Each structure stands twice: as C-alpha cells, then as structure tokens.
Chain A
C-alpha cells in the first residue's frame, strides 16, 4: 500500500474581484500517492494552476484541507511552510524563472545552500549539483549566465533546482509550455526518469503528449474535478501513442 503524499478534501478557493466573488475551486477532492505522476488538465480558466499553487502551499485556500504527508499545510505559518517547500517540495514553472544575477549552476544549488538538512558541506552540494547537471545533460552550461543558454537547457536547470534537495514531491506548472516539441520531449524524459526513481510528481499541462506520460490524469473544469483517468506506468515507449489516443478520447468525452 503506497503512502498518501497529498490528500485534498473539500478544497475551495475564492477570489474577490471588484466586490464580486469568483469561486475558482469548488469542493475539490483527490489524493496523490507516493511515486505517482499525476497530470491536471482542463480548459483555460478552469482553475488548474490555482489548484497546483493551492495544494502546494504557494497560495492559501479559502476552505477545505490539504494534507502533505498527513500534515495540514493550511495550519502552518509562513516559516514552517517555507521549510517544507525547501526540504520536501520541488517546483518547476512554465517560464524558466531564475535569479538573473547568478549563474545557471549557482541558481541550481541555491536551495541546497539555504537548507541545513540535506548536505553536510558545500563540497557535497557542489558534487551533487554537478552530478545532477551531468544527468540532465547541461554540465557544459554550469558557469553560464541564464541569458546565455537556450530555453530547454534552462528548463532542465530548473528541474535540477527542483531536485537538488531530494524532494518528496515535485509540482510543475506547464513545464513544457514554453518549449518546442523536441525540447519538450527531453524535459518530459527527465521528469519520467525522476518519477521512476521514486519522486512523486503533480503537473499541470495542456499537452496530451505530456499527460500521456503520467500515471493518472485529473480533468478539472469550472473549479471542480470532473473526472480522472488511470493510465498506469508507461513502461514501454512504443505504447505512448496508444496512451495518447486513449487519453484524447477520454478528454473528448469530458468535453475538452
């Protein structure tokens, strides 16, 4: 029996815009178990990104409960939440957000330098960072400025940064959204590899090809989870197209 990493119950998120209430998430319920790779799909404005930010503690919910490894994250103060984000979570954004005054490598190891838990020395951090970069195929750009490298390379560096503290779970908001097809495939390759090594992943995407690599897909519309599809582990690459077709069919049924 896999351990529950994330348990979301009756989650609501409401924004007040111009004195008008906008219910972005309405009573959302789902859970994610260890080693799962879950994609959240849905039309634009359906609340995908809000869901990701709320369940990852980057934004506060209006009502409901989010448990991360059994801990209710809504009860945590900003300092405790920051510690969880630092040591147990990893984040990948659609845009390759990095600090512009640091090199690619320094950006990547920054969370490890800030954390006091995962490494005993700076040398250890540097060694692990280099190992990660090699694994991601971007060791050549380690000392480059973030403006000197391609989007794909930068997104891989962002993946590296999200992995540097050995997180239990990675949240990714359209990680391939700003990349071309081949780069997108490379990035997904890395995420699948990560997942196969035991990291739980929740990602938001518009791309059926990306979602087809995940173990489960949640479909969200108008702030509610309308359905979910279990795809299972993608053991065989030759079956990807078949998974894509099946997923597309299901999505059409869901009204996408």
Chain B
C-alpha cells in the first residue's frame, strides 16, 4: 500500500516533490563537500609536515656572513638530538629567463641537489621526488603557478659567471619554504648540476649556505645556541614558526572553511523550510485520513516513506555531485601543499547518510506536530499549513505604490520568516564576498607598507646587486651615493624625487639583564627620517642611542618603553633606550628600528626592503604609471612598481585570494539563483489559487510576473543593505586576528573598494536575483483564471 500511495503522490505533487528533491541534492552536495574540505584543510598542514618529515627547528645560514660552521655548532650542542643539512646556493632577485615569448621573472632562488634532501619533497601527484635527471629541475609550485611557468619550459640560471639551462620537469611541494610568506623559491636539480655551480669556491662563498633541520626537545636552547653562534644566520624558527608562515595559506583555507560552514547552514535552513513547507501541503489530507479512521502511526509512516524515498534519491545524487564540487573548492589551496586527512569519499558518504537522517528527523518532528490535531483542525484550520494571525501592517488604501509593488512589499512584510530566510542567505553570501574583497584590497594597497614597518613612497625598485655593494663596498656610504646618483638621474629626466631605502640586519638583541636574547631583524633607514614611520605607542627614536621595537620584541625580551636593550654588533655591544612601539608584518612581527644616525656594520646587512622613490612634484597616479615605464628603461630594471603592486608582491597571496574571491562570487551567484528559483517555484506552487484570482479579476501575466519578481528583488535589496552594514565589522572580527598573527598587533586599516563594494557586487546580487526570480516566475503564465478553484 505504501508503495502505491508513494507512486501516486510523487506523480500528483510533482512540482513540490521535484523542488524538495533539488534542495536535498543541494544540501547533500554542500554538506558532503564542505565537511570533507573542513577535514582536509584543518588536518592538511600537520599532515603535510608529518609526511615531509619536518624537523622541530629550521635554520638557514649564509656562508658569506659565517664565522663558525653551523655543523660544528650543532654537533657540539647537547640540546640537539639530531640534525640534517642541505647545502644550497641562494641568489636574490635572480633573473630567470625562459625560452618562450613571455618575459622571464626575478625571484630569490635557492638551488639544491636532490641527493641532499633531508625532507620529503613531493611532485604534483604527491609522489616523493627521489631523483632529478641532469639538465632538469623541479621548482616550487607556488612560483610556477604565479608566473605561469609550465613543465617543459627551459629556464636559464645565472650565478656568478656560471650559466646553465634547465628544463622544468615538474612542480615541487616544499613544506619548509613552500608557504606564500617565504619569498624563497626552491629549485631542485641533480648533484652534478648543483656541483657545476657549487664547485666554484667564489660562488660557494658568496651565494652558498646551509639549511639545517634540527630535532630537539628544547626550542629555547636551540634558539640561544643559534643566537650566540656566528653562523651567518639568515632565518631560524621552530616548526610552529614555519607553520605561521602558512598564515596566508590559512587565510585561504579559513575562507574555504567559512564558505563551507555557510553552505552547510544555508543547505539545512533551506531544507528545513522546504520540508515544513511541503508537509504543510499535506495537512488536509492527513485530516481526511484521520477522519476516516486511519491510525496515526500509519499516516506518519506514509509520509516518512515518501520523504525517505526522496531523501535517498536526493542524497545519492548529491553524493555523486559533491565529489567534483568539493575538489573544485579545494583546488585553490591544495595545489602547493599536500593536504591530507580528508578528501576521502567515505566522508562524503557519511555526510550523505547524515543528510538522510536529518531529513527524517525534520519529517518526524513535522509529522509529530500533526498528531496533536483533530481531523477537523487538520482540515479546516491548517489547510494552508499555517495558523492565521494578523498579517502585514501595510494598507493598500494608504499606499502610493502600484498594486504589483504593493503586493510584493506586503508579501515580504507579511511573511517575515519566509523572506527573512531568503534575506539571511543572500546577506551571508554577500558578506563573505565583501570580506574577502576588502581583504584583497587591503593586501594590495600601498597603505599597508606602513604596517610592515616601512615608510611609504610612490615607487619601489628592487635592485639585485645592491646588497653586494653594501657588504663588499664602503657600506652605507655606497648606498647613499647610489641613491644620490639615482636622484640626480631622475631629476635629469624631469622626475624630481627623494630616494631612500631600509636595510635589514639580523642581530642578536637582549634585555638589560642579559637573561633574554634572540636574533631579530633590525631596521636601518638610509636617507629616511624617523617621522616617516608609524608608531603605535610612545615616540620615534630621536638620537642614535634610541630605538623603537615591535610588541613581539617587547614581549620576548620583557622590555617596555623607557627600558634599555642591548644589540650585539660586529664592532661590539651597544645599549639603546626603547622610545616607542611600531608594528611590522615583516618576519611575523619581530623588529627593532634604529635611528638614522646610529652606527651599523654594512657586512651584517642581510637584506633590504626596496629602493623607494617619493616624487617631490606630486604627480597624478597616471603620471606615476607613465614614469615607472620610463624608469624601467632608464635603469634597465623590470622590477619597478607602484606601492599597490609592491605590497601585493610582498604579501604574495593577493593573486590566490583574488581567485578565492572570484570563486566566492560564483558560489554567491549559484546560491542566489538556486535559492531564488526553488523558493519562487515553491511559493507559486502554493499560490496557484491566489494567482488565478488575480488573473480572474483582470491582472495580466506581466503584472503577476512583476509582482513575484519584485518580492525577491525587495529581499535582495534588504540583504544588500544588511550586508553593507555588517561586512566591515565582520571583516575586523574575522580578519584582524590573521593580521595579528602576521605581526600587525595593532590591526590594519582595511581598504574598501567603493566601486566593487557599493556598486558592482550589490548590482550583481540584485540583477541575478531579478533574473532568477523572473525566470522562475514565468511559470505563473501557465496558471489561468480557471485555476482559481485550486485555491483550496
């Protein structure tokens, strides 16, 4: 009997059943793929670290700055349980040309021999790379993707006076240097090719270094060991600090998690609404069945069987769709790392079963409510599936709207739960998009340079040989002369400007008591003044014996404004008074700023920010762009860009975040189209009688379609208003902690792109809603005045 009734019911109420089925498919797809993604992303990094065999501590040293061999230092320490060393050659801003039409790119390349590998490095198929053919190279995936290199591309590597061509054999997943924050690209070749460069003593001394993977149960002891030794330390950090390097990757993963959670919420809310909505259609029938004496358990069983059948079919389809859908979402984060812990179809299967269980629970709850009604109540009071109460507050007689607009507005205000759900879903989708868009805008805006602890300027130039000039020439004076030459050259070309540069030294700093010490980045500006930087608290250093520090340094050393710190230079220890705090997202928040007249040893300079140009004639943005093109010719340097581009390059994730933002836009459009279409079809299926009455009293098709479309347009406009009101606080609450992890302890000023935020995205939302609602409302054309009798 059940099957007979089920067959007839499915046929008779085809529209509502199809709508419910679609929502079940949608819910299963979202839930399965999202839960799988959550499992994958949350376990991903730990899984990657474990599989790659990442050590407890990581250090990079440079031969040119080393007085002690790191291997000897580690060997002699009791704190070190074991360690492995990879030799490498590193060159900043190496020009990597390729034999294709596209221009080459500059990058900081670290070349190593595959045979020296201390970690597991994976190819794109997550297979460990065990050998590299001569003349071939595996290169970090992040770089290949960013600069559009392909397998088979031939690239030319030039170090010192040696040059060799390599064919790219594939991408390399590198847990240690693979994060977006690490601006070093690992270039893995065979030992013979590596020795071709490394066998040259001059090259080894100038560009060589060691990557040390240290296993130790005592991070603090290793930190002290490395800060005390003169090993030419370029970078050191614990496993956790290496993990923090993935913070921007985590932003993307986090975004994916938020999207997934929102999709799950949307799926279940909409599903519950649809089940309640479709079940309310059945009240009358339930009443009739009760009246003729069918037992309640039997009645309930009938509906449970029906919804179970729908749930099974919907969940099965949703399960199949969720596999490619989840893969598509994950693709944005999985390409450069080896995510694990999830991505199994078992999770999708479990989630699909869970959806069936939840649907049955919803149905059980809804049918239980029916149990309490008498047959008369079920037939009379609940024929429309709702208890009558005072409807909307709007009155046509007082309204100046035309009927179609009035009816639409009145429907929205009379059914706040129904349309509130739609507004909520739409607003949530738009908020997600706006939060990411604002984050992308912030991460590619020149204003952010101050959050890195640097001064702002109009143009930024990276110059590969600058460091060599500093360390091998007369130091700071060489840079001052160079900057002065550049200023003159610029003035001669009618581009008057001031040039300045921030040098970075890696020096040991300690508190006055000497009981807390670590190696930190120390900033020293050439041609800058202290007022060009931002300070969060206190004041700028005003003489050579004063410094500003970051909150991280303050916390690590336990020193505050007014306290003294000691910096260990090659020429001896110097004591400084802390006058203020500044924030820097460079090196995850560590940093000390010296006064511009302080003494430093140029040979200890480990890096520099960029050569910065501040035009003195206030050119327009368009003029700056044009000047950049001329500067590229004058200095024969392609690495000259605006502040926005420079920040985007420093942060190194704007590209992928933009991709996430585009995916979110597509997800938003899909959600809006699906929810609008399915809701409109649900509503109009239930309103056939009302539509027929309107047609009977003279409303034409166009007016009815307009009325239905406008309801959704109103809902989308409200959701836009809600989203615009909430997205900024949501951005602050959700994104600021990530910036804090990166070192911006005092937060950042978020950038809002007015055109995208207030015009383009809201317009897309309203336009897509209108189009979807209009398309779905075309169904009402099939309703004739004669259908008025179907009102009941």
Q: A residues touching B (Cβ–Cβ < 8 Å)?
A: 53, 58-59, 78-79, 82-87, 89, 91, 93, 95, 97-103, 105-106, 109-111, 113-115, 122, 125-126, 129, 143, 145, 147, 161-162, 165
In Å, the complex CA distance between A83 and B703 comes to 12
Q: Is B699 in contact with A58, judged by CB distance below 8 angstroms?
A: no
Which residues between 50 and 97 of chain B lie within 8 Å of chain A, taking CB atoms?
none
Q: Is A101 in contact with B395, judged by CB distance below 8 angstroms?
A: no
Q: Which residue of A79, A99, A125 contacts B693 across the interface (Cβ within 8 Å)?
A: A99
Which residues between 394 and 409 of chain B lie within 8 Å of chain A, taking CB atoms?
395-397, 400, 402-403, 406-407
Q: Is A145 in contact with B697, judged by CB distance below 8 angstroms?
A: no
Q: Is B698 in contact with A87, judged by CB distance below 8 angstroms?
A: yes
**Chain A residues closer than 8 Å to B8, beta-carbon distance:** none
**Chain A residues closer than 8 Å to B384, beta-carbon distance:** 100
Main secondary structure of the interface of B (DSSP, over half): helix
In the assembled complex, the CB of A178 is this many whole angstroms from the nearest CB of chain B, namely 10
- Highest count of chain A CB atoms <10 Å: which of B703, B786, B791: B786
**Chain A residues closer than 8 Å to B697, beta-carbon distance:** 85-86, 91, 110-111, 114, 161-162
Q: Which residue of A85, A95, A125 contacts B791 across the interface (Cβ within 8 Å)?
A: A95
> What's the interface size class on B, roughly?
35 or more
- Judged by a CB distance under 8 angstroms, whether B411 is at the interface is yes
Which residue on A lies nearest to B402, using beta carbons?
Answer: A113
In the assembled complex, the CB of A99 is this many whole angstroms from the nearest CB of chain B, namely 5
Which residue on B lies nearest to A164, using beta carbons?
Answer: B697
- Judged by a CB distance under 8 angstroms, whether B662 is at the interface is no
In Å, the complex CA distance between A34 and B699 comes to 25
Q: A102-B391, A110-B694, A126-B397 are in contact. List 7 more A-B contacts (CB 8 A).
A: A85-B785, A99-B694, A101-B411, A113-B403, A114-B403, A114-B697, A114-B699
In the assembled complex, the CB of B41 is this many whole angstroms from the nearest CB of chain A, namely 45
- Judged by a CB distance under 8 angstroms, whether B689 is at the interface is yes
In Å, the complex CA distance between A102 and B695 comes to 16
Q: B residues touching A (Cβ–Cβ < 8 Å)?
A: 384, 388, 390-392, 395-397, 400, 402-403, 406-407, 410-411, 414-415, 689-690, 693-703, 784-786, 788-789, 791-792
**Chain B residues closer than 8 Å to A114, beta-carbon distance:** 403, 697-699, 703
In the assembled complex, the CB of B685 is this many whole angstroms from the nearest CB of chain A, namely 16
Main secondary structure of the interface of A (DSSP, over half): helix
Which residue on B lies nearest to A49, using beta carbons?
Answer: B789
Q: Is A115 in contact with B698, judged by CB distance below 8 angstroms?
A: yes
**Chain A residues closer than 8 Å to B406, beta-carbon distance:** 113
Q: Considering the complex of A and B, which 5 residue pairs feature the smallest CB-CB distances, nearest first?
A: A86-B698, A82-B700, A58-B785, A106-B396, A147-B388
**Chain A residues closer than 8 Å to B410, beta-carbon distance:** 101-102
**Chain A residues closer than 8 Å to B788, beta-carbon distance:** 58, 93, 97
**Chain B residues closer than 8 Å to A91, beta-carbon distance:** 696-697, 785
Given A78-B701, A145-B391, verify A102-B396 contact (CB < 8 Å).
yes
In Å, the complex CA distance between A79 and B690 comes to 18
In Å, the complex CA distance between A126 and B690 comes to 23
Q: Is B397 in contact with A97, judged by CB distance below 8 angstroms?
A: no
In the assembled complex, the CB of A217 is this many whole angstroms from the nearest CB of chain B, namely 23
In the assembled complex, the CB of B303 is this many whole angstroms from the nearest CB of chain A, namely 25
In the assembled complex, the CB of A189 is this many whole angstroms from the nearest CB of chain B, namely 23
Q: Is B415 in contact with A101, judged by CB distance below 8 angstroms?
A: yes
**Chain B residues closer than 8 Å to A89, beta-carbon distance:** 698
**Chain A residues closer than 8 Å to B402, beta-carbon distance:** 113
In Å, the complex CA distance between A111 and B698 comes to 7
Q: Which residue of A58, A79, A95, A145 contacts B390 across the interface (Cβ within 8 Å)?
A: A145
In the assembled complex, the CB of B271 is this many whole angstroms from the nearest CB of chain A, namely 25
Q: Which residue of A87, A99, A115 contacts B690 across the interface (Cβ within 8 Å)?
A: A99
Q: Is A82 in contact with B695, judged by CB distance below 8 angstroms?
A: yes
Which residue on A lies nearest to B704, using beta carbons?
Answer: A82
Given A102-B396, A122-B397, verify A93-B789 contact (CB < 8 Å).
yes
Q: Is A95 in contact with B792, judged by CB distance below 8 angstroms?
A: yes
**Chain B residues closer than 8 Å to A100, beta-carbon distance:** 384, 388, 391, 690
- Highest count of chain A CB atoms <10 Å: which of B384, B403, B696, B789: B696
Given A97-B689, A122-B397, verify A59-B785 contact (CB < 8 Å).
yes
Q: Is B786 in contact with A106, judged by CB distance below 8 angstroms?
A: no
Q: Which residue of A85, A98, A109, A115 contacts B396 across the interface (Cβ within 8 Å)?
A: A109
17 A-B contacts, Cβ less than 8 Å apart? A53-B785, A82-B695, A82-B698, A83-B698, A85-B697, A86-B698, A91-B785, A93-B696, A97-B788, A106-B396, A110-B697, A111-B697, A113-B402, A114-B403, A122-B400, A125-B397, A145-B390
**Chain B residues closer than 8 Å to A109, beta-carbon distance:** 396-397
**Chain B residues closer than 8 Å to A59, beta-carbon distance:** 784-786
Which residue on B lies nearest to A78, using beta carbons?
Answer: B701
Which residue on A lies nearest to B781, using beta carbons?
Answer: A78
Q: Which residue of A79, A87, A115, A125 contacts B702 across the interface (Cβ within 8 Å)?
A: A79
Q: Which residue of A85, A105, A106, A125 contacts B698 across the interface (Cβ within 8 Å)?
A: A85
In Å, the complex CA distance between A125 and B697 comes to 16
Q: Is A106 in contact with B397, judged by CB distance below 8 angstroms?
A: yes
In Å, the complex CA distance between A95 and B689 comes to 11
**Chain B residues closer than 8 Å to A161, beta-carbon distance:** 697
Q: Which residue of B414, B689, B701 contacts A101 across the interface (Cβ within 8 Å)?
A: B414
Q: Is B698 in contact with A101, judged by CB distance below 8 angstroms?
A: no
In Å, the complex CA distance between A105 and B403 comes to 14
In Å, the complex CA distance between A82 and B694 comes to 10
**Chain B residues closer than 8 Å to A105, beta-carbon distance:** 395-397
Which residue on A lies nearest to B401, using beta carbons?
Answer: A113
Given A99-B407, A101-B415, A114-B403, verify A86-B785 contact (CB < 8 Å).
no
In the assembled complex, the CB of B145 is this many whole angstroms from the nearest CB of chain A, namely 54
Q: Is A101 in contact with B396, judged by CB distance below 8 angstroms?
A: no
In the assembled complex, the CB of B670 is this many whole angstroms from the nearest CB of chain A, namely 30
In Å, the complex CA distance between A161 and B694 comes to 11
In Å, the complex CA distance between A89 and B696 comes to 9
Q: Is A86 in contact with B397, judged by CB distance below 8 angstroms?
A: no
**Chain B residues closer than 8 Å to A143, beta-carbon distance:** 395
**Chain A residues closer than 8 Å to B390, beta-carbon distance:** 145
Q: Is B791 in contact with A106, judged by CB distance below 8 angstroms?
A: no
Which residue on A lies nearest to B692, using beta carbons?
Answer: A97
Q: Is A58 in contact with B696, judged by CB distance below 8 angstroms?
A: yes
